[in-house]
């Protein structure tokens, strides 16, 4: 396949930060701020929620018995990486040991670092590989950190900015997949080679252990540090959903783990779990299987069936404790939790009590190397988050409760089902009171990602408390009903997701819950593609649309940043057969003069190195050229999240809700 010559007058807007582009962005930003103004009170209320010191600090267990947490607030906008003891965490105001202050680091180094995560060395827990992102981009700088002295090691492992993947092998060796120079990246911009890097040597001298193909999405390697089960693994990611998995023997020989390419797997001591996307060994798509890993490598193909989906129920996730497996499932987007214990021939099962009809309960963390304790979180659209500590077979203790950030008196959560164009029942939630205010409909519908109930103080204060109604649509393409729900909107079937969303909008009006002129729509990333389709295919259903960091140009998306990695989701526009169905809905290609579109707000970030800001830029330019009503704002920082700190987040949300209130009222 080759990049076809395209007739596009706005190709120049694909230049990330050229002077002409920067001038165009500055002009559009000024126009948008001038037209929409700035609701300072709304922005301050949103900022108060984001910066609240009463938020629940969701911790991680690193294996040393301590609670680790990354935290931002008004005093620390870029954040603190910190830790405390289990005893201290139970207190209302724990004493935290600050390991790294990013704001202080930025002042000292003249940088704009944001937190990109950390990988801690086990079992000593005294070193970490910290990822630092400039302005929120996916590309990170990796630097080794001494947790005892709380300093970066000048002579430690360090990698320059890239979309790197690193894993500790031991104190003196890493697996590293990064940009090693020409030929070391895939066409999607991710690492194509994995090397074993020894301390004290330059990255270029690292030992090559695996090399993928240029058209793969990426490759990676990792080391299992579980005592008595130390093993090494390599993954070759063929596309977004398919991979080849290998066990790497001490000799360097690779042994293929012979599971379906589109299955996900995980290992815990003796057990391998396999989550299916397509049928295998007589088990249906969406099933979860378990088998002894050594027996599997020896040829055993008789796994235990731990979960079988049905038309209403799917598997959300699974988490190990030392001796037990915790399953999180959904039935009609309502969460359930069950504890399984390995046994022969059947695993023993014990369901946990549900916390509420529309609450979302999940496992926040566990420490499977140590014990059978786990952290469980629970929240709902109108219920602030609760974090509890539980032990399998033991008590559950509430550790933290988030305060209510808005008054919910008179508000309810209801679930309805709309009927899509092909007769499919599509669930959606309606949150709010009986006030006849505007309605905001959200959706995503892609990459197997479900939209589940969750508490948002920002939405509550900025929308619900001001008389608005919030609607969350669980359309196809997401993961609400397992692999089949996702597959139903893949590639040439993507319009089914659009039809589902349009069906929910139509159903809201039919139920008398809103009217088209008072109905807004919002989505980001793949949800931004959904918004572009609503604008160009169903403009009569909406009074306003907001698309955040959107994918909009389906002709060029594979040639922009990480776009090529999504071919399995959307199709390849350089393949004439695929372009035939992509061109039929690509929002950028389907803007038409003379049509009446609702006003749209396009939001993006210059530092988004996943979805190129050119998608939103070019869409805004084309809409402007044809005389349609469009507002455009591009934040300089923020990466794919569009904001690098709470101040920027508050400003963007205030702009969003200000636009919706002004337009829909």
Question: Which residues belong to the active site?
Answer: 525, 640
Q: Which pLDDT score, from 0 to 100, does residue 6 have?
A: 65
Using a pLDDT cut of 70, give the percent of the chain over it.
99
Reported as a single tens digit per residue, the pLDDT across 68-90 is: 999 999 999 999 999 999 999 99
Reported as a single tens digit per residue, the pLDDT across 557-581 is: 999 999 999 999 999 999 999 999 9
Give the pLDDT mean for 495-522. 97
Q: Is the pLDDT of residue 56 over 70?
A: yes
Q: Is residue 258 part of a domain?
A: no
Q: In this predicted structure, which of 236-245, 348-357, 485-494 has the lowest mean pLDDT?
A: 348-357
Q: Is residue 313 part of a domain?
A: no
Per the structure, the count of domains in the chain is 1
Residue 409 CA, distance from chain mean position = 32
The answer to whether residues 177 and 191 touch, using CB atoms and an 8 Å cutoff, is yes
Q: Is the pLDDT of residue 345 over 80?
A: no
List the structure tokens of 502.
Answer: 């349009």
Q: Which pLDDT score, from 0 to 100, does residue 1 have?
A: 38
Q: Is the pLDDT of residue 4 over 60?
A: no
Instruction: Quote the crossing angle between the two packed helices 19-36 and 614-625, to the nearest 10°.
Output: 70
Q: Is the pLDDT of residue 5 over 60?
A: no
Q: What is the dihedral of CA 493, 498, 503, 508, to 10 degrees?
A: 160
Reported as a single tens digit per residue, the pLDDT across 367-405 is: 998 999 999 999 999 999 999 999 999 999 999 999 999
Mean of all residue pLDDT scores within the chain: 95
Give the pLDDT mean for 457-474. 97
Q: Is the pLDDT of residue 35 over 70?
A: yes
Q: Which pLDDT score, from 0 to 100, does residue 2 have?
A: 39
What is the domain range of residue 589?
22-47+405-664
Reported as a single tens digit per residue, the pLDDT across 580-606 is: 999 999 999 999 999 999 999 999 999
Give the pLDDT mean for 100-117. 97
Instruction: Write down the number of H helices and E strands in the chain.
Output: 13, 37
Give the pLDDT mean for 504-526. 97
Task: Look up tokens 């929620």; give the residue.
Answer: 49
Give the pLDDT mean for 504-533. 97
Q: In this predicted structure, which of 35-39, 139-143, 196-200, 585-589 has the lowest mean pLDDT?
A: 35-39
Q: Is residue 417 part of a domain?
A: yes
Q: Is residue 455 part of a domain?
A: yes
Contacts of residue 182, defined as CB under 8 A and 6 or more positions apart, other chains included, come to none
Give the pLDDT mean for 533-545. 98
Q: Is the pLDDT of residue 414 over 90?
A: yes
Nearest to 501 by CA among 464, 526, 472: 472
Q: Is the pLDDT of residue 103 over 90?
A: yes
Q: Is residue 607 part of a domain?
A: yes
Instruction: Kindly report the CATH number assigned to the domain that includes residue 33.
Output: 3.40.50.1820
* Phi, psi for residue 492 in degrees, rounded to 5: -65, -15
Q: Which pLDDT score, from 0 to 100, does residue 118 have?
A: 97
Q: Which residues pair with 221 in a beta bridge?
A: 234
Confidence band of 64 (pLDDT split at 50, 70, 90): confident
Nearest to 551 by CA among 615, 610, 498: 615
Confidence band of 3 (pLDDT split at 50, 70, 90): very low
Q: Which pLDDT score, from 0 to 100, does residue 573 have?
A: 98
* Phi, psi for residue 642 in degrees, rounded to 5: 70, -5
Confidence band of 642 (pLDDT split at 50, 70, 90): confident
Q: Which three-class secondary structure string do you get for 449-461?
A: CCCCCCCCHHHHH
Q: Is residue 394 part of a domain?
A: no
The rounded distance, in Å, linking the Cα atoms of 323 and 541 is: 52
Q: Is residue 500 part of a domain?
A: yes
Q: Is residue 124 part of a domain?
A: no
**Maximal CA-CA distance, the chain:** 70
Q: What is the pTM of this model?
A: 0.96
Confidence band of 208 (pLDDT split at 50, 70, 90): very high
Q: Is the pLDDT of residue 344 over 80?
A: no
């Amino acid at each position: 396949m080759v990049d076809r010559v395209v007739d596009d007058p706005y190709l120049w807007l694909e230049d990330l930060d050229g002077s002409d582009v920067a001038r165009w962005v500055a002009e559009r930003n000024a126009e948008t701020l001038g037209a929409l103004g700035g609701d300072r009170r709304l922005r301050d209320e949103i900022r108060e929620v984001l910066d609240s010191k009463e938020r629940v600090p969701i911790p991680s267990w690193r294996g040393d018995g301590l609670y680790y947490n990354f935290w931002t607030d008004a005093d620390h906008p870029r954040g603190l990486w910190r830790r405390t003891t289990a005893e201290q965490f139970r207190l209302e105001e724990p004493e935290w040991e600050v390991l790294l202050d990013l704001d202080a680091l930025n002042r000292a180094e003249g940088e704009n670092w944001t937190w990109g995560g950390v990988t801690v060395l086990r079992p000593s827990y005294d070193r970490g590989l910290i990822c630092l992102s400039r302005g929120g981009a996916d590309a990170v700088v990796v630097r080794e950190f001494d947790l005892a002295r709380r300093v970066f090691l000048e002579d430690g492992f360090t990698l320059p900015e890239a979309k790197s993947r690193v894993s500790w092998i031991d104190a003196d060796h890493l697996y590293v997949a990064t940009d090693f120079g020409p030929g070391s990246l895939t066409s999607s911009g991710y690492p194509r080679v994995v090397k074993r890097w020894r301390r004290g040597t330059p990255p270029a001298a690292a030992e090559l252990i695996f090399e993928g193909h240029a058209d793969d999405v990426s490759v990676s390697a990792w080391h299992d540090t579980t005592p008595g089960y130390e093993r090494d693994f390599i993954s070759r990611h063929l596309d977004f959903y398919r991979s080849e998995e290998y066990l790497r023997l001490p000799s360097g020989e690779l042994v293929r783990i012979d599971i379906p390419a589109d299955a996900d797997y995980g290992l815990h001591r003796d057990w391998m779990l396999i989550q299916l996307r397509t049928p295998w060994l007589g088990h249906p798509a969406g099933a979860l299987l378990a088998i002894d890993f050594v027996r599997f490598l020896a040829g055993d193909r008789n796994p235990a069936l731990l979960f079988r989906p049905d038309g209403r129920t799917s598997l959300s996730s699974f988490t190990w404790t030392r001796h037990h497996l915790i399953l999180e499932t959904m039935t009609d987007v309502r969460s359930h939790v069950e504890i399984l214990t390995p046994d022969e021939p059947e695993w023993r099962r014990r369901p946990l009590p549900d916390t509420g009809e529309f609450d979302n309960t999940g496992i926040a963390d566990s420490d499977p190397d140590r014990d059978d304790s786990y952290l469980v979180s629970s929240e709902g659209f109108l219920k602030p988050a609760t974090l509890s500590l539980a032990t399998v077979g033991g008590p559950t203790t509430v550790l933290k409760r988030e305060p209510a950030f808005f008054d919910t008196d008179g508000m309810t959560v209801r679930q309805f089902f709309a009927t899509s164009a092909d007769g499919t029942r599509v669930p959606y939630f309606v949150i709010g009171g009986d006030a006849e205010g505007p309605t905001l409909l959200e959706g995503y519908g892609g990459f197997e990602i479900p939209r589940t109930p969750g508490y948002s103080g920002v939405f509550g204060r900025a929308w619900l408390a001001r008389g608005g109604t919030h609607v969350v649509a669980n359309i196809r393409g997401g993961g609400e009903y397992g692999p089949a729900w996702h597959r139903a909107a893949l590639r040439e079937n993507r319009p089914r997701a659009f039809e589902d969303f349009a069906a929910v909008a139509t159903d809201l009006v039919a139920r008398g819950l809103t009217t088209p002129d008072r109905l807004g729509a919002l989505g980001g990333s793949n949800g931004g593609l959904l918004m572009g389709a609503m604008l160009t295919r169903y403009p009569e259903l909406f009074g306003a649309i907001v698309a955040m960091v959107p994918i909009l140009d389906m002709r060029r998306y594979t040639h922009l940043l990480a776009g090529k990695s999504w071919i399995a989701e959307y199709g390849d526009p350089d393949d004439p057969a695929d372009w035939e169905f992509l061109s039929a809905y690509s929002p950028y290609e389907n803007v038409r003069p003379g049509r009446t579109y609702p006003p749209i707000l396009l939001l993006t970030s210059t530092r988004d190195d996943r979805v190129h800001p050119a998608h939103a830029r070019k869409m805004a330019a084309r809409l402007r050229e044809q005389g349609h009503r469009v507002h455009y704002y591009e934040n300089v920082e923020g990466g794919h999240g569009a904001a690098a700190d709470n101040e920027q987040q508050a400003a963007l949300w205030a702009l969003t809700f200000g636009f919706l209130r002004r337009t829909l009222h």
